[in-house]
């Protein structure tokens, strides 16, 4: 009999670069704003009410700071992994997001900026992580503290969709998205 694994995907709170409209990608060391900490605390309270049995976070600072709120709210320790990092944007990181509309080929899932990661590679990284998680889940309900594009990739993998079909809508900062996976 197949059992399900519930994933509770928490998007990190607003970071300083979110507030400034800068592309973050995998740039580390960008802390949460005061609003970001409030969003993280609200997301952590929502997460705690859903009863996760394990908590895993991206290793990037903005996610780890959000995960600290989640750990306090749930009483769970946080495991950290680079597998939950945001999509890497290479040389585009730190540039204003609005400038990217003329630079990025949003229609090609194999396109990547120099030193960056394509949607296809992000999708493959997330799919490999989810396969490992399904094979050896730390709990029946797992909180994953991560990033907007990574959440969209998790949603696509869970729905059996490829990298060209990631959902268009990115969850809001501090939000919790629930997914059920069969194992």
Q: Which CATH number covers residue 166?
A: 3.40.50.1240
Which residues on neighbouring strands pair with residue 9, listed in sequence order? 144, 177
Q: Residue 142: pLDDT band by 50, 70, 90 thresholds?
A: very high
List the domain range (segments joined by +) for residue 46. 4-182
pLDDT tens-place string over residues 99-134: 887 888 878 999 999 999 999 999 999 999 999 999
Q: How many structural domains is the chain composed of?
A: 1
Least confident of 10-24, 102-116, 133-147, 148-162: 102-116
Q: What is the CA radius of gyration of the chain?
A: 16
Distance CA 96, CA 98 (A): 5
* Mean pLDDT, residues 138-156: 97
Distance CA 176, CA 47 (A): 7
pLDDT tens-place string over residues 17-57: 999 999 999 999 999 999 999 999 999 999 999 999 999 99
What pLDDT does 59 receive? 98
* Mean pLDDT, residues 137-144: 97
Looking at 117-179, list the stretches that DSSP marks H as alpha helix, in order from N- to C-terminal side: 119-135, 148-158
Instruction: Tell the residue number behind the tokens 């900026």, with chain if given.
Output: 113
Active-site annotation holds for 12: yes
Q: Residue 2: pLDDT band by 50, 70, 90 thresholds?
A: low
What pLDDT does 125 receive? 98
pLDDT tens-place string over residues 67-106: 999 999 999 999 999 999 999 999 999 999 888 878 888 7
Of 83, 69, 78, nearest to 13 (Cα)? 69
What pLDDT does 99 receive? 85
What pLDDT does 102 receive? 81
What pLDDT does 4 receive? 87
pTM: 0.96
User: Which of 12, 69, 123, 147 is the catalytic position?
Assistant: 12
* Mean pLDDT, residues 164-171: 94
User: Which of 86, 93, 117, 147 is the catalytic position?
Assistant: 86
Active-site annotation holds for 117: no
Backbone angles phi, psi at 78, to 5 degrees: -110, 125
- Cβ burial, residue 95 (10 Å; 0-12/13-18/19+): middle
């Amino acid at each position: 009999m197949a059992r399900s694994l519930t994933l509770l995907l928490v998007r990190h709170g607003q970071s300083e670069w979110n507030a400034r409209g800068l592309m973050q990608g995998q740039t580390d060391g960008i802390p949460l704003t005061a609003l970001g900490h409030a969003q993280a605390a609200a997301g952590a309270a929502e997460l705690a009410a859903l009863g996760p049995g394990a908590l895993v976070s991206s290793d990037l600072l903005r996610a780890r700071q959000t995960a600290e709120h989640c750990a306090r709210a749930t009483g769970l320790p946080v495991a950290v992994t680079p597998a939950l990092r945001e999509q890497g944007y290479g040389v585009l990181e730190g540039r204003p997001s609005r400038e990217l509309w003329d630079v990025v080929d949003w229609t090609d899932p194999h396109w990547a900026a120099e030193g960056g990661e394509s949607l296809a590679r992000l999708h493959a990284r997330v799919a490999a992580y989810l396969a490992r998680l399904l094979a050896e889940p730390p709990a029946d309900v797992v909180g994953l503290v991560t990033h907007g594009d990574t959440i969209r990739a998790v949603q696509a993998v869970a729905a059996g969709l490829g990298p060209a079909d990631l959902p268009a809508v990115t969850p809001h900062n501090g939000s919790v998205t629930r997914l059920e996976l069969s194992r």
